């Protein structure tokens, strides 16, 4: 008899206690939650089970003793990262002991991979049994299940049904973007990175404790489900990542500044672009303060469109009165009713010629020009990262520039140091790749 078969038989007849602990990261993403809820309606398949969105990090497993020592053992892996990140990849089919699963595969960042390796190393000596997939060196496939425990006799039919769905009638694939599996077109949130802030320890499906990565603290079951605790979690994350400025910026690069797509008052943009805010009011306060901590009253700012949006958002003129600086307003597709703007503008700064426009697909740039734009937010970084030296585009959507205006002088410094064809996804990564001042300085 095969070893794996003997183990399954032992559990089935009660000769071995089943693994009853699990470590996961909850995914507070309303778009993915809505897709899980609508899966039977969209696909016409009701087989299997569903739970709130989560990423399994370790387990299931059975500790040698009780659960009280597990949080301490986990902290060796949990103390370093302020968050974990991943991106949705291909749709995947998985087979477990009780049936099949259809899931969104994930591309994990290095922090998520390191945390997983740390959990394997820290917990393995304390376990009586664990999943084969978590035994060193570890082969876990990170994913978010849309449906699991689909009976094996139905699994192939359900998979084929999902893969042959017609795309959502509401989905418009941008020109030039790769096709996606049809089920993905029913996910109303975009392709932005998913940030994970909490790691939960479960026993028999019940939450024992949850670790808050930004705040470096364990939360009780009661605290873990309180909305006000999530507000604190996201606030601490923003401060740690430089997305919420503590005060006036000193010693910065100076004007002129550029930024696009604030979307003030627009609650749905929080979900669509996975912005780390708990409400539109909180988002507005942080974005306006970041702007005014960066820009002085006499500084020149080029704003590249989509100031506000949403049925209940205040008028654009109300927001303009709250933002410091002398603004050149370039219209976006949500700026109806705002006077004094232009469709595009050109400028020369240092040794570079720039075309500034909201939507780069509408640009008719001359060969020597770089296009500074917004519109695509953080939802198509493969084509429109912060800097794409090959296509000569610079995406200054708020999500890519830390939700604060960025100096054109700093951008020019990155352009001098970037290699031919280089792509830099975000301002944060540009600063990590090229720390310190640009030694070459402006030309001319």
What local confidence, expressed as pLDDT, does residue 391 receive? 94
- Do 176 and 263 lie in a common domain? no
Residue 1 covered by a domain: no
Residue 268 covered by a domain: yes
- Do 225 and 268 lie in a common domain? no
- Do 294 and 202 lie in a common domain? no
Q: Work out the pLDDT band at 375, boundaries 50, 70, 90.
A: very high
- Do 171 and 27 lie in a common domain? yes
- Judge whether 402 and 378 are in contact, CB under 8 Å: no
Per residue in 77-109, pLDDT (tens digit) is: 998 899 999 999 999 999 988 899 999 999 999
- Do 324 and 393 lie in a common domain? yes
Tokens of 350: 């240092």
Of 213, 239, 265, the position where a domain reaches its end is 239
Residue 415 maps to which CATH number?
3.60.21.10
Instruction: Report yes or no on whether pTM surpasses 0.75.
Output: yes
- Do 192 and 260 lie in a common domain? no
Residue 245 covered by a domain: no
Among 395, 302, 303, which Cα is nearest to 347's?
A: 302
- Do 309 and 368 lie in a common domain? yes
- Do 278 and 211 lie in a common domain? no
Better pLDDT: 19 or 222? 222
Residue 11 covered by a domain: no
Per residue in 248-262, pLDDT (tens digit) is: 998 777 899 999 999
Residue 8 covered by a domain: no
- Judge whether 258 and 100 are in contact, CB under 8 Å: no
- Do 183 and 230 lie in a common domain? yes
Per residue in 139-155, pLDDT (tens digit) is: 889 999 999 999 999 99
At 439 the three-state DSSP class reads: coil
**Residues spanned by the domain of 278:** 253-433
Residue 13 pLDDT exceeds 50: no
Q: What is the mean pLDDT of residues 329-346?
A: 92
Of 217, 239, 261, the position where a domain reaches its end is 239
Residue 4 covered by a domain: no
The residue count of the chain comes to: 444
User: Which residues contact residue 375 at a Cβ distance below 8 angstroms, ignoring those fewer than 6 apart?
Assistant: 260, 261, 305, 306, 332, 333, 358, 359, 360, 397
What local confidence, expressed as pLDDT, does residue 250 receive? 81
Per residue in 275-313, pLDDT (tens digit) is: 999 999 999 999 999 999 999 999 999 999 999 998 888
CA angle 186, 189, 192 (to 5 degrees): 130
Among 265, 42, 312, which Cα is nearest to 163's?
A: 42
Mean pLDDT of the chain: 91
Give the integer Cα–Cα distance in Å for 366 and 301: 23
What local confidence, expressed as pLDDT, does residue 402 receive? 98
What local confidence, expressed as pLDDT, does residue 10 receive? 43
CA dihedral over 307, 311, 315, 319, signed as positive or negative: negative
Q: What is the mean pLDDT of residues 396-411?
A: 98
Of 189, 212, 239, the position where a domain reaches its end is 239
Residue 439 covered by a domain: no
Strand order in the sheet with 217-219: 127-130, 54-63, 21-26, 198-203, 206-212, 217-219
- Judge whether 335 and 316 are in contact, CB under 8 Å: yes
- Do 47 and 81 lie in a common domain? yes
| Total count of domains within the chain | 2
Residue 174 maps to which CATH number?
3.90.1140.10
- Do 211 and 66 lie in a common domain? yes
Q: What is the mean pLDDT of residues 332-336?
A: 89
- Do 262 and 186 lie in a common domain? no
Residue 388 covered by a domain: yes
């Amino acid at each position: 008899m095969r070893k794996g078969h003997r183990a399954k038989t032992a559990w089935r007849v009660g000769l071995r206690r089943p693994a009853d602990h699990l470590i996961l990261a909850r995914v507070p993403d309303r778009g993915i939650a809505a897709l899980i809820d609508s899966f039977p309606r969209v696909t016409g398949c009701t087989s299997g089970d569903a739970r709130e969105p989560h990423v399994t990090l370790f387990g299931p497993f059975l500790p040698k003793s009780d659960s009280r020592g597990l949080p301490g053992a986990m902290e060796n892996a949990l103390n370093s990262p302020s968050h974990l990140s991943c991106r949705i990849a291909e749709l995947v089919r998985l087979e477990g002991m009780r049936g099949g699963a259809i899931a969104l595969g994930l591309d994990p960042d290095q922090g998520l991979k390191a945390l997983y390796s740390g959990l394997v190393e820290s917990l393995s000596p304390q376990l009586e049994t664990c999943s084969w997939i978590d035994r060193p060196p570890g082969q876990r496939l990170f994913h978010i299940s849309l449906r699991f425990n689909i009976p094996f006799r139905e699994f192939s039919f359900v998979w084929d049904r999902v893969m042959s769905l017609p795309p959502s009638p509401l989905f418009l694939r941008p020109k030039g973007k790769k096709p996606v599996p049809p089920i993905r077109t029913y996910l109303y949130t975009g392709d932005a990175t998913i940030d994970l802030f909490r790691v939960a320890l479960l026993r028999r499906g019940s939450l024992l404790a949850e670790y808050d990565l930004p705040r470096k603290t364990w939360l009780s079951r009661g605290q873990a489900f309180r909305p006000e605790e999530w507000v604190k979690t996201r606030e601490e994350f923003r401060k740690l990542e430089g997305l919420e400025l503590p005060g006036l910026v000193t010693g910065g690069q100076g004007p002129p500044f550029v930024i696009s797509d604030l979307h003030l008052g627009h609650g749905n943009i929080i979900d669509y672009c996975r912005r780390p805010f708990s409400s539109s009011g909180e988002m507005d306060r942080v974005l306006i303060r970041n702007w005014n901590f960066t820009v002085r009253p006499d500084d020149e700012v080029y704003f590249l469109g989509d100031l506000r949006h949403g049925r209940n958002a205040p008028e654009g003129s109300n927001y303009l009165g709250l933002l410091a600086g002398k603004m050149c307003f370039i219209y976006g597709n949500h700026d109806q009713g705002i006077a004094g703007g232009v469709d595009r503008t050109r400028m020369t700064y240092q040794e570079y010629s720039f075309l500034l426009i909201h939507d780069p697909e509408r640009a008719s740039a001359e060969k020597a020009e770089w296009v500074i734009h917004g519109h695509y937010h953080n939802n198509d970084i493969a084509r429109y990262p912060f800097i794409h030296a090959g296509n000569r585009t610079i995406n200054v959507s708020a999500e890519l520039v830390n939700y604060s205006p960025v100096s054109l002088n700093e951008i020019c410094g990155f352009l001098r140091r970037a290699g031919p064809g280089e792509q830099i996804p975000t301002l944060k990564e540009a600063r990590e790749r090229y720390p310190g001042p640009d030694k070459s300085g402006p030309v001319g």
